Chain A
Amino acid sequence: MADAPRTPIAAQAPPQAAGERISKSQGRIVWEQFRRHKVALAGGGILVVMYLMAVFAGFLAPYDMNEYSRTPSFAFHPPTPLHWTDPETGRLTRPFVYPSEGARDPVTFQQVWTQDIDADPVPVEFFVRRPERPYRILGLFETDLRLFGVQEPARIFLWGTNNLGKDVFSRVMFGGQVSLTIGVLAVWVSLILGLLFGGLAGFYGGLVDDFFMRLIEVIDAIPQLFLLIVLATLLRDPRNPIAQSFGLEMNSAQIFLMIVVVLGFIGWGGLARTVRSLVLSIREMDYAQAAKALGAGESRILWRHLLPATSSYVIVALTLAIPGFILVETGLSFIGLGPSELDSASWGMLLRDATSKGLALQFAPWLLIPGIPIFLAVLSWNLVGDGLRDALDPRKRR
Chain B
Amino acid sequence: MFSFIVRRFLHLVPTFVGATLLAFLISQLVPGDFFTSMALNPDVRPETVQRMRTSFGLDQPIHIQYVRWMTNLVQGDLGLSFDSNQPVSNLIKRPIQNSMILVVLSILMLWAMAVPLGVYSAVRQYSLGDQVVSTISYFGLAIPNFFFMLVLILVLFYLRSFTREVFGFNEMLFPVAKMTSNNYGDLSAWGRSWDVMWHAALPAFVVATSGIAGFTRVLRAQMLEYLDSDFIRTARAKGLAQRSVTYKHALRPAIIPFVAGIGALLPSLIGGAGLVEIVYAWPGITPILLASIGRQDIYVVLGFLVVSTLLLIIGNLISDLLLAVVDPRIRFS
Q: Which residues of A contact B (CB under 8 A)?
A: 214-215, 217-227, 229-231, 233-235, 237, 239-242, 323, 327, 330-331, 334-335, 348, 351, 354-355, 359, 361-362, 365, 368, 371, 374-376, 378-379, 382-383
Whole-angstrom distance between the Cβ of B156 and the nearest chain A Cβ: 10
Closest 6 CB pairs of A and B: A239-B31, A225-B271, A379-B142, A218-B18, A371-B147, A378-B142
Tell me the complex Cα distance, A334–B287, Å: 13
Please judge, given known A-B contacts A221-B313, A234-B26, A234-B30, whether A226 and B143 are in contact too, CB under 8 Å.
no
The answer on a CB contact under 8 Å between A218 and B22 is: yes
Is A214 touching B138 in the complex (CB atoms < 8 A)? no
Docked CA distance A229–B150 (Å): 21
B267 interface contact, C-beta 8 A: yes
Output the least CB separation between B301 and chain A (Å).
Answer: 6
Q: Mark B128-155, 1 if CB is under 8 A from A, else 0.
A: 0000000000110111111100110110
> Are B293 and A230 within 8 A (Cβ)?
yes
A331 touching B142 by the CB < 8 A rule? Answer: no
CB A107 to nearest CB in B, in angstroms, measures 14
Provide the residues of chain A in CB contact with B16, threshold 8 Å. Answer: 221
Query: How far, in angstroms, from A218 to B312 measured CA to CA in the complex?
Result: 12
Out of B32, B154, B274, B309, which one reaches A361, CB within 8 Å?
A: B154
Give Cα A327–Cα B312 distance, bound, in whole angstroms. 22
In the complex, A334→B151 CA distance in Å?
A: 15
Residue of B nearest to A334 (CB): B146
Contacts of A215 in B (CB 8 A): 18
List 20 A-B residue pairs with CB atoms under 8 Å apart, sorted by A's residue number: A221-B15, A221-B16, A222-B22, A225-B270, A227-B26, A227-B305, A230-B26, A230-B289, A230-B293, A230-B301, A234-B27, A235-B29, A237-B30, A241-B28, A331-B275, A334-B144, A334-B275, A361-B150, A362-B157, A371-B150
In the bound complex, residues from chain B placing their C-beta under 8 Å from that of A351 are: 146-147, 150
Hey, which chain B residues are within 8 Å of A217, CB to CB?
Answer: 15, 18
Given contacts A214-B18, A217-B15, contact A375 B147 (CB under 8 A): yes
B293 touches A375 (CB 8 A): no
Chain B residues lying within 8 Å of A239, measured Cβ to Cβ, are: 31-32
Q: Number of B interface residues at 8 Å Cβ cutoff, please give it.
A: 51
Whether A223 lies near B26 (C-beta < 8 A) is no
B279 at the A/B interface (Cβ < 8 Å)? Answer: yes
CB distance from A346 to the nearest CB of B (A): 12
A227 and B25 alpha carbons, distance in the complex (Å): 12
Q: A229-B290, A365-B154, A368-B154 are in contact. Are A330 and B144 (CB under 8 A)?
A: yes
Q: Take A224-B267, A330-B144 as given contacts and tell me if A335 and B278 are in contact as well, using a CB distance cutoff of 8 Å.
A: yes
Is the CB–CB distance between B29 and A234 below 8 Å? yes
B286 within 8 A of A: yes
Nearest B-chain residue to A359, judged by Cβ: B153
Nearest residue in A to B310 (C-beta to C-beta)?
Answer: A221
Complex Cα distance A188/B293, Å? 29
Closest chain B CB from A171 CB (angstroms): 16
Q: Please report which residues of chain B, range 59-106, place their CB below 8 angstroms from some CB of chain A when the two chains form the complex.
A: none
Judge whether B319 is part of the interface by a CB distance below 8 angstroms: no
A360 to chain B minimum Cβ distance, whole angstroms, is 10
Contact B279 A355 (CB under 8 A): yes
Chain A CB within 10 A, most for which of B26, B275, B286, B301 = B275
- What CA separation (Å) do A231 and B157 show in the bound complex? 36
A276: min CB distance to chain B, Å = 18
* A223 touching B270 in the complex, CB below 8 Å, given contacts A335-B278, A355-B279: yes
Residue in A closest to B273 when the chains form the complex, CB atoms:
A225
In the bound assembly, the distance between CA atoms of A354 and B278 in angstroms comes to 13
Chain B residues whose CB sits within 8 angstroms of the CB of A334 once the complex forms:
144, 146, 275, 278
Q: Would you call A222 and B305 a contact (CB within 8 A)?
A: yes
* A355 CA to B154 CA, complexed, in Å: 11
Closest to A327 in B: B144
**Additional A-B contact list (9), CB under 8 Å, known A221-B309, A334-B278:** A223-B270, A225-B270, A226-B289, A230-B289, A233-B294, A239-B31, A323-B142, A348-B144, A355-B279
Bound complex: CA of A242 vs CA of B274, how far in Å?
A: 27
Q: Does B299 contact A (CB under 8 A)?
A: no
Q: A355-B279, A362-B157, A374-B147 are in contact. Are A233 and B293 (CB under 8 A)?
A: yes
Q: Which residue of B lies closest to A332 (CB)?
A: B275
User: For the complex, is B159 an interface residue (Cβ under 8 Å from A)?
Assistant: no
Would you call B215 an interface residue if the criterion is a C-beta within 8 Å of the partner chain's C-beta atoms? no
Q: What residues of chain A lie closer than 8 Å to B27, measured between beta carbons? A: 230, 234
Q: Contacts A235-B29, A323-B142, A335-B275 given: A229-B19 contact, CB under 8 Å?
A: no
CB nearest to B313 among chain A residues: A221
CB-CB under 8 A from A376, the residues of chain B are 142
CA distance A221 to B14 in the complex (A): 11
Cα distance, A231 to B28, chains bound together (Å): 11
Q: Contact: A374 with B144, CB < 8 Å?
A: yes
CB closest chain-A residue, reference B270: A223
Cα distance A219–B20 in the bound complex, in angstroms: 10
Q: Which residues of A contact B139 (CB under 8 A)?
A: 379
Task: Select A240's contact among B22, B29, B278, B313, beta carbons within 8 Å.
Answer: B29
Interface residue B201 (Cβ < 8 Å from any Cβ of A): no
Contact B312 A223, beta carbon cutoff 8 Å: yes
Complex contact A382–B142 (CB within 8 A)? yes
Which residues of A sit under 8 angstroms from B22, Cβ to Cβ?
218-219, 222
Contact for B289 among A222, A224, A229, CB less than 8 A: A229
Contact indicator per residue, chain B 275-305, by CB within 8 Å of chain A (1) or not (0): 1001100000110011001100000010011
